[in-house]
Chain A
Amino acid sequence: MTQTSTNSGAFASALRAVAGLPAPELLKDLRARGRESFSTLGLPSRRQEEWRFTGLKGIEGEVFESPAAVAPRIDVTPWRVSNARLLVFVDGIFASDVSEIGDLPDGVVVSNLVLGATSGSEAVAQHLGSLAPLEEHPFAALNTALITDGAFIHLPAGMELDRPIQIVFVSGSGKRATLSAPRILIVAEAGSRATVIEQYIGDGASLSCPVSEIVIGAKAVLDHVVVQEENLSAHHLAVRQVQLAADSRYSAQAISLGGALARTDIGVVLDGERAEASLDGLYLGDGSQQVDTHLTVRHASPNCKSHQLYKGILAGRAKSVFNGRIVVDQDAQKTDARQSNRNLLLSEDATVNSNPQLEIFADDVRCTHGSTVGQLDEEAVFYLRARGIGHDDAIRFLTLAFAGEILGRVPVAELREHLDKVVAARLASIADPKGIE
C-alpha cells in the first residue's frame, strides 16, 4: 500500500534507532516481526472501519524522539500507592532507582521485561507476543517493532500477593515529543491472585503506545486498574489482550482522564468454562480531547460471564467512541454477557459514537447490551437546588455521582481516594459554566 511509506515516516528514525539497540534475542526476534507487520499495516486511515472516528492528525505531523538510553530521575511520590510494589518507567525506560519492588515470595517475578527475558523465563518465552494482535493492529505492530522494555509479572501457581503491584509509566520527559512503546506481560498461573495498577502520567508532548498481554490461569484472580492521566498534549494508543482459563476471574477498571487522544483497544477471550470478566470504564473529555474505547469480549467456552459498564462524561468539543463487541462462539452455551455504555454530555458540542454489537453463534445464552447518551436529570438538579445547593454545585454533585459508580469499584482504597480527588478537580473545571463553550 502506498500510504504506508508516507504515513509511517514519523516513526522511521525511531524504528531505525531501536533496531540497533542491543536486546535479548527473544526481543530482537519480536522486533523484527513487529517491523515487518508495521511496514505492511502502516498507520491506520479513516477509511478503515475500526479507525473511522479516531483522528490521528496529531500524530501524523509530529516527529517523535526516541527515548534517552537512561531514564531521567523523576518524582512519582504524588502517584505512589504506599503499600504497593512499584515499577517506574520513564518514556519506556526502566527507572530502577525510583522503583521499589521489595522482597518477593519464592517464584514470584515482578521486574522489567528485559530482566525477565535475559533470565530465561519460560513464561516470557511462551507468552510474550502470543496474545497481542500483532498482524492486525497497527499500534500493536508499532509497539512490537519498538519493543525495548516493559513490565513483567509472573505469579506461580497458588501464589496470592497481598500488596498491589503498581506500574507507573511517565511520558514526555524530553524537550521534544517523545515516543514510548512499553510492553507489559502478566502471567498468573493457576490459583494465583494479585492486584495490578497500571498508571500513565506525564507533562510533555508524547506518544505512548503500550501493549499489555495478560494470561490468567485456571482459578486465578486478577484485579487490574488502568489509569491514564497524561497531560492534554499526550497521545495514548493502548492495546490490551487478556486470556482467561477455566474458573478464573479478571476484573478491570479503566479510568481515562488525560491526553489529546486516548484510545484503548481491549480484547478479552473467555477460554475456559465458568471464567468471568468484568470490565468497567470511566472516561472524561473536555476541550478538544478524544477518548475512544474499542472492546471485544469473546466467549469461547460455555458457562462464562462477562459484563462491562463504561461511563463517559464529555464537555467542550470532546469526542468519544465506544465500540463494544461481544462474540459468543457456537460452543459457548449458557453465556451470560452484559454490556452497557452510558454517556453524559455537558455541552452541545461534545459528541459520542456508541456502537454496542452482539455476535451470537450459540442458542442458549443471555446477552444484553445498551447505550445511552444524555444530559443530567433536570428533576435531580432541581431537587438539589430546592434544598439550597447552588446550580453549578448541583451539576458537579450529580456529575461526580455519575463517575462515582465506577470509581467506587476501584479495589485499592488509596488509589480510589487519589482518583476521587483528580476526577473532582477535573469536573470542577469542566462543570464551571465558563469552561463550557
Chain B
Amino acid sequence: MKNGSLLELKNLHVSVDGNEILKGIDLTVNLGEVHAIMGPNGSGKSTLASVLAGREEYEVTAGEIHYANQDLLELDAETRAREGLFLAFQYPVEIPGVSNTYFLRAALNAIRTHRGEEEIDAMDFLALVREKVKLVKLDESLLKRPVNEGFSGGEKKRNEIFHLAVLEPKLAILDETDSGLDIDALKIVAEGVNSLRDPERSFVLITHYQRLLNYIVPDFVHVLIDGRIVRSGDRELALQLEDQGYEWLEVEPAQAAGA
C-alpha cells in the first residue's frame, strides 16, 4: 500500500444472488482526494457503495479492499463506521421513535469509545450540533424529530450531510446524494461538503449526473459501466460525459478503457 493511500480496491468482484455486479474494480483513493464515480443506471455504482459500507447481502467473490491499513472485508459495518468510514445513503431510512439528535449522539459516542476517547457530554454535543446544523441549513426543529420521519427528500439528504459533519469521518461515500434535489438544495449540500473537504479526509461521490460536480469539483472522475471502470480522468471527463452521454464508452468498453 502506497504511503498516503486511504482506500485501495484491487480486482474487486462482487455478486448479489449469484449475479456478478462488479467485475474487477481497481481504485486508489489517497487522503484528501475527492473521487467521483459516474455511470449509467445498473452499472454497479450503488453496489460499490454498499460493499464499502459493509452490507452483508453482497458477496465479494474475488479481490481485496484495503482501508487505513486494514483489510476492510474483515470488519463489520459498525466497525467500519467507527474506523471513520461514512456512507451517505441514497435512500436514508426513517426511524420512528428515535430522535435525530439522540441517534447521532449514540453514533458519535460509539465512534469515540472505539477510539478510546470519553463520551461527549450533553452540553458540548449540543454546541457541536448547533454549529454543524448551520452547514446544511437544516431547520433545528428536525433535530428533535425522529430520524428522517416526515422529512422531505431534500431534508433527508441534507440530514445525511449533517450526520457526516458531526461524525467527521476519514472517508465519506456519498451515494447519489444529488438525486432528487432541486438546484437550491443541491447547492446547499455541495457547500456543506466543500466546507468539510480537508487534507485528512477523502470523498467518493457516486452520481449519475455531472451536475453535482459543478459544485463539488473532484480531483478524479471514474466511469463505471457494467461493473468495470472503463475510463478515469479529471473533471474534463465529467464534462465530456455531460455533452456526449455514456454511449460512446458503452460501445467499445475495451477500447475506451485502453485509450
Contact = CB atoms under 8 A, between A and B. Distances in A.
B55 A389 contact: no
Interface string A363-381: 0000000000000010110
Contact of B95 (A386, A390, A401): A401
A260 B233 CA distance: 67
Contacts of A384: 95, 103, 107
Given A383-B89, A384-B103, A397-B106, A391 B78 contact: yes
Contact of B110 (A382, A393, A400): A393
Contacts of A398: 95, 97-98
A401 B78 contact: no
A405 interface: yes
A332 to B, nearest CB: 33
B81 A388 contact: yes
A214 B55 CA distance: 53
Interface residues of B, number: 30
B167 interface: yes
Contacts of A404: 97
A337 B76 CA distance: 46
B251 interface: no
A382 B82 CA distance: 14
Given A386-B87, A397-B98, A391 B93 contact: no
A387 interface: yes
B78 A389 contact: yes
B53 interface: yes
A402 interface: yes
A401 B98 contact: yes
Contacts of B68: none
Interface string A401-426: 11111000000000000000000000
B4 interface: no
B55 A382 contact: yes
A391 B76 contact: yes
Question: Contact residue range for chain A?
Answer: 20 to 34
Interface string B82-115: 1000110100111111100001101110110010
A386 B81 contact: yes
Nearest to A399: B97
Interface in B120-171: 146, 163, 167
A380 B167 contact: no
Which of B77, B92, B98, B163 has the most chain A CB atoms closer than 10 A to its own CB? B77
A386 to B, nearest CB: 5
B54 interface: yes
A236 B36 CA distance: 62
Nearest to A406: B97
Question: Which secondary structure dominates chain A's binding surface?
Answer: helix
A387 B167 contact: yes
B106 A386 contact: no
B180 to A, nearest CB: 18
B106 A393 contact: yes
A384 B163 CA distance: 12
A385 interface: yes
A389 B97 CA distance: 16
Nearest to B78: A385
Given A388-B78, A388-B82, A388-B107, A383 B93 contact: yes
B93 A379 contact: yes
A311 to B, nearest CB: 11
A404 B149 CA distance: 15
Nearest to B166: A387
Given A389-B78, A389-B107, A397-B106, A383 B92 contact: yes
Contacts of B87: 386
A89 to B, nearest CB: 34
Interface of A: 377, 379-380, 382-391, 393-394, 397-398, 400-405
Given A388-B82, A394-B78, A401-B96, 10 more contacts: A385-B54, A385-B81, A386-B77, A386-B89, A387-B103, A387-B104, A387-B110, A388-B110, A388-B111, A393-B110
17 contacts: A377-B93, A380-B93, A382-B77, A384-B103, A385-B54, A387-B81, A388-B81, A388-B111, A389-B107, A391-B76, A393-B110, A394-B78, A397-B98, A398-B95, A401-B97, A401-B98, A405-B97
